[in-house]
């Protein structure tokens, strides 16, 4: 039964995390207007402007018609469209339809089939922001490292759930007085022998019968003082 509860809680936590990631990812796609707003620089063709492992944030809401010479854009390679290229626009070779030629800042010349011809079909978006060197994380998280981390995260969640349920179970079974052991009550057996505070409580002598009136301590004190005075006289 406990194992089932742990499994359900772990699955619940993983589901919440997964839903959070999906919601954030969809939100980023809406904000930046592209299926993938993040790209990692994989070559040195744009050095010194872009370094290997820099992370690029691409704005897909910039229309292809608004792209100008000097902009750095992300596009699918025209020849085969099997690679994503990040290069700078160096010229507009045609206006109808608009066609661009690009070049890597660190390259000697534009490469046919890679840098041109770029049409709206190949266009993905314009580079808006650059986060230096964060792309190293993607290298660290390549398989099998990413799978190991996922297993470790799930393992930690399971262990935390086990410890949590164990603590709750022990707390529910705890008997501070240990009622099954009379000796454990010894520490509380002398409560009746403690000196009572007359300021906050009214005391009764258990030896006085119920049918006899009870005198307060102040009246008794007065009588005693009176009797002493009389004896002196």
Q: For the segment 19-40, what is each residue's pLDDT rounded down to a tens digit? A: 888 898 898 888 888 888 999 9
Dig out the tokens for 217 from the structure.
């301590």
Residue 66 pLDDT greater than 50, yes or no:
yes
* 59 plus 129 within the same structural domain: yes
Least confident of 56-65, 85-94, 116-125, 200-209: 200-209
Strands (E), the chain: 38-40, 55-59, 72-76, 84-95, 98-103, 123-131
Percent of the chain at pLDDT exceeding 70: 66
Q: In angstroms, rounded to a whole number, what is the distance separating the alpha carbons of residues 166 and 5?
A: 12
Average pLDDT for residues 96-110, to the nearest whole number? 95
Scanning 93-192, the segments in alpha helix (DSSP H) are 136-140, 145-172
**Residue 145 lies inside a defined structural domain of this protein:** yes
Number of domains in the chain: 2
* 54 plus 128 within the same structural domain: yes
* 130 plus 42 within the same structural domain: yes
- Provide the domain limits for residue 146: 141-172
Scanning 36-98, the segments in alpha helix (DSSP H) are none
What is the Rg, in whole angstroms, of the alpha carbon atoms belonging to the chain? 42
Q: In angstroms, rounded to a whole number, what is the distance separating the alpha carbons of residues 60 and 74?
A: 9
**Residue 99 lies inside a defined structural domain of this protein:** yes
Global confidence as pTM: 0.59
CATH code: domain of residue 118: 2.10.109.10
Per the CB < 8 A criterion, the answer to whether 75 and 124 are in contact is yes
pLDDT tens profile 142-199: 667 666 777 777 777 777 777 877 776 666 665 555 555 555 555 555 555 656 555 5
**Residue 152 lies inside a defined structural domain of this protein:** yes
Comparison of pLDDT for 171 and 230, the residue scoring more: 171
Looking at 156, 172, 188, which one is the last position of a domain? 172
* 67 plus 102 within the same structural domain: yes
* 45 plus 119 within the same structural domain: yes
Query: Confidence class of residue 45 from pLDDT cuts 50, 70 and 90?
Result: very high
């Amino acid at each position: 039964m406990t194992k089932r509860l742990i499994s359900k809680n772990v699955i619940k936590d993983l589901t919440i995390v997964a839903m959070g990631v999906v919601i954030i990812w969809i939100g980023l796609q809406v904000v930046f207007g592209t299926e993938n707003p993040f790209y990692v620089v994989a070559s040195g063709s744009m050095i010194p402007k872009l370094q290997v492992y820099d992370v690029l944030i691409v704005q897909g809401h910039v229309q292809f018609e608004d792209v100008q010479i000097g902009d750095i854009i992300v596009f699918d390679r025209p020849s085969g469209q099997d690679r994503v290229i990040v290069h700078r626009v160096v010229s507009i070779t045609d206006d109808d339809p608009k066609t661009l030629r690009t070049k890597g800042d660190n390259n000697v010349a534009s490469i046919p089939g890679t840098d041109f011809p770029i049409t709206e079909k190949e266009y993905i978006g314009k580079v808006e922001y650059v986060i230096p060197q964060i792309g190293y994380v993607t290298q660290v998280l390549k398989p099998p490292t990413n799978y190991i981390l996922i297993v470790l995260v799930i393992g930690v969640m399971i262990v935390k759930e086990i410890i949590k349920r164990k603590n709750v179970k022990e707390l529910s079974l705890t008997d501070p007085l240990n009622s099954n052991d009379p000796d454990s009550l010894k520490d509380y057996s002398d409560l009746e022998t403690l000196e009572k505070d007359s300021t906050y409580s009214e005391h009764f002598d258990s030896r006085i019968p119920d049918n006899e009136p009870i005198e307060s301590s102040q009246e008794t004190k007065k009588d005693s003082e009176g009797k002493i005075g009389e004896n002196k006289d």
